[in-house]
Chains A and B, each alone.
Chain A
Amino acid sequence: MYNIVTKRELVPHINLFEFSAKEIAVKTKPGQFIILRVNEKGERIPLTMADVDPEKGTITVVCHEVGKSTRQLGQLEEGDCILDLLGPLGKPAEIGKFGIVLCIGGGVMVAPLYFQAKALHEAGNKVIGGIGARTENQLIFENEMREVCDEFYVATDDGTRGYKGLGFLEELLKERKIDRVITMGPILMMKKVSELTRPYSVPTIVNLIPIMVDGMGMCGACRVTVGGRTLFACVDGPDFDGHQVDFEELMTRLKMYSPQEKLAFVFYEEGGSSL
């Protein structure tokens, strides 16, 4: 059993959890993920870590309630426990001294992006942050990101806050010499960012968490096509070269269980709870 040390609602339906998991906290590097299970009947939920505190022995994840399993997690409180917590999984992100690094995050994935941005900042890079959300009141981790970025941009899909869409990125690419781009967010956003950086040949790293079960290379559910080769996101990633990823296939495969996911959610909300 793993204890929830902190729970904070960042915005409606997006929660931050700090779990007590000393062994994992000591070993985790930015870019890696965990798999958790709320209870005996629960799904294995993969989440890229947003921070760790090795001394305190905790790891931090931020989770968006998008279906039954994530909703169930969202309903837990500080002091509650989850049944399973496994990690650190996946390869660590490459943290080097690149020069000027652009960190573009969207939605809930701004949180794990912060973990990488912080490490890149500490490694002596000039970090330019750009975070976004659908609309103003959906923005998360703004203050955290500001702290580790030398320059900072905010954007929303509807323009209620900051720039509208990814226009700022186009300008930055045009005006500045960017050495590396890290992008974490919805697949469509990462695809768009990768397309924008391609003409400038800026190395662009995406962090992919497709549907996966074991998270250790055993099931192959998370297979992605990268540069024409089939790779497993869980062990070969989760970071990949955004210019090589087949995003169309990734999006299709992500929707594979949509009908079942809806069914499970309805079943849960209408009281067929397995808690």
Chain B
Amino acid sequence: MTFADHLVIAPIVLPTVAAGLMLMLDGRSRNALAAINLISTFALLAIAITLAATAASGEPGTAIRTYRLGDWPAQFGIVLVSDRLSSLMLVLTATLACAALVFSLARWHGVGPYFHPFFQFLLMGLNGAFLTGDVFNLFVFFEVLLAASYGLALYGSGYARVRAGLHYIAINLVASLIFLIGASLIYGSAGTLNMADLAVRVAELGPRDRALLEAGASILGVVFLVKAAMWPLGFWLPGTYAAAGAPVAALFAIMTKVGIYAVLRLGSILTGPETEGSVMFGAGWLTAGGAATIVFAMLGLLASQELGKLAGYAVVISSGTLLAVIGAGDPALVGPALFYLVSSTLAISAFFLLIELVERGRTRVDDVLAVTLEAYGLEGEEEPGEDGDSGIAVPAILAVLGVAFVLCGVLLAGLPPLSGFVAKFAILAAAIGRGEAGVSPDAWLLLVVLLLSGFVTLFAVVRGGMRSFWGPIEREVPHVRIVELAPIAALLFLCVVLTVKAEPAMRFMQATAADLRGSKAYSGAVLAEPVPPPAPPREGGSR
């Protein structure tokens, strides 16, 4: 094994070590903790990019790297698998983490004692969940990331956070128990929990075991959909995200995508050309559920008065869109869906960071006042003409924030010219262009829901922006530091890069989707017999 082979486990080991180190330092020197966190997070980004580059270099269906812990054969031990999808998610996680961390250095990391260790543990759990090739191991990493997320969701304390956190924790604990039921049903019917082994055995199961396995997989699916906040299961999300601190919420933007990732991964394992007949069972449910999620989120967007809630519902819209698109069950749609995943996650993350800065200038009272003003139609009655020499000098910082706000809105709503538009256009083009015999009902549903959600998002963001930037209320210019603006700018810049380089990016996503089309390559790569190390040269021959 070379050094490069061990790189697969580095995204798990590095945050663990960093977090352990921080716990030993005991929070006495906050700067030291921040330094460790910075080094670790940026190193994670570098590692993730290296892994992605290796994965991207191979042909579709190859370039899957596995790492056997303790070198046990894959069926018996735990394997880590780094393919295109995993490494893509790793890069996305690390990018968000870098942005959130840099942002937090200005103010947030000083609010409580354990921000940095929690941050690293969350990264460890996320990376592990993306890398692991074992269902039960996935459960363990889910628990790690959830435990860290409980800490982060409550970070900063306060009435609103504790109240939202209580619901969040209770729901996720129940979801974990359901996960266990699903995983054990799968073990009971297929006799394995290794994903690659599972893919092989699914084809050989008898009808009775098949029914049990499908029940188990559906129960697991419910858990993933709770994480992804599908409609009847996602009421916890907007409140929790709005209550969490800005950098925390920005990092949480990836957590719903863990659910999406798991649905994609398990879906690809249980289908594939060799196991025709159990084609991502319940795919129709996914489309319907995704569409319902989008409708629910649209209503939420229209009803929400706070920007935080608005961003929370934007997360739900993003998940709903992904679920609806994936559920359509067409491999051609998965590539654009992944592009949308990346673009929307970056935009939402930037939006969470941004609204904290925008809201900084206003107080609670202002908010209430704004609502009442609007409700009673008092806005029009502002006495006009008082400042006849119109033109209050807009402070530069407000202008910068405003431009960033507009960009976020354009990205979230999917307007041209940014990457949100490219993603939605690609999805719709694939959905409409696939059938020879006209456009299918599924595609119509997608078309209507996607366009409508874009319109509603635009409407809600514009309304929120008008209220924050043009409101008649006296407001202070928020004090913003460059460390806080830089991450937002970087995230938005990445979206611009994604737009300009849409073609190579889309090619990568299509290759990723091609990987997911069949499980044969995956299980073949994971279950391959380890190459025995070359026998050590015999000694004592030529003495």
Are A and B bound to each other? no
Binding site for B on A (CB under 8 A): none
